[in-house]
Amino acid sequence: MENFADLLGANKEYASTFKSQGLTGQAKKGLAIVTCMDSRIDPLHIVGMEAGDAKILRNAGARVTEDVLRTLVLATHLLGVNRVLVMPHTDCRMASGEEHEIHAAILEKSGVDTRGIEIRTVKDQMKALVTDIQRIESYPLLAKNIKVMGAIFSVETGEISPVI
C-alpha cells in the first residue's frame, strides 16, 4: 500500500468534494472520444465537457482496435453514444518510429521481447486517422445513426484540427 499512499491520500481529498454521484452511465452529450493514453490530454475539457457527458476510450496512439470497436458497440447501443471523435495528438511516441524500433527500444530498456504483440505504430498519422475513421464507419455492429469525426489534438497549443 505504501507505493500508492499518494493516490489514496489524493482520493480522500477528491471524495470529500465529490459531486458526480447523481450521474448515470449514459453519455449525456452523446459523445465517445477515442484518444491516446498520453497524460497531456484532458479529453473532456478539450471539447468543453465534464464528467457524465462523454465516454472516453484511451490506448497508445488513439488507434481504433478491436477492443475500441467492441466498446463502441456497447456505447452506441446501450449508453447513448451517437457521435464518435477519434483524436490522436501531436508529439505522439506511437507516431515517431517504426514498429520494429519500438520493440527494439523496449527490449533494450527492459530486456522484454515484445515482438509477439502488435504495437500499432504509424508513419503517417493522418493516414492512420482516416483509416481508423473508416473502420468505425464501416463496422457492421455499430448503431447506424452514429456520426464520426477525426481531429488531431496539439499538445503544444491545445487546439484540435478536424480531419475532413
| pLDDT tens figures, 10-29 | 999 999 999 999 999 999 99
* Amino acid 154: pLDDT: 98
Residue 101 sits in which domain range? 24-163
With respect to residue 148, please indicate whether it lies within any of the assigned structural domains: yes
How many independent structural domains does the chain possess?
A: 1
Q: Which residues of the chain have pLDDT under 50?
A: none
In a domain, 122, yes or no: yes
CATH of the domain at 32: 3.40.1050.10
Angle, vertex CA 48, rays to CA 44 and CA 50, nearest 5: 50
Q: Is 17 inside a domain boundary?
A: no
Whether 3 maps to a domain, the answer reads no
In a domain, 69, yes or no: yes
**85, part of any domain:** yes
Per-residue pLDDT at 142: 98
CA 47, CA 153: separation in Å to the nearest integer? 11
Residue 19 lies in a domain: no
What nine digits make up the cell of 103? 520493440
Q: Residue 139 phi/psi, 5° resolution?
A: -75, 120
131 in a domain, yes or no?
yes
pLDDT of the residue at 96: 87
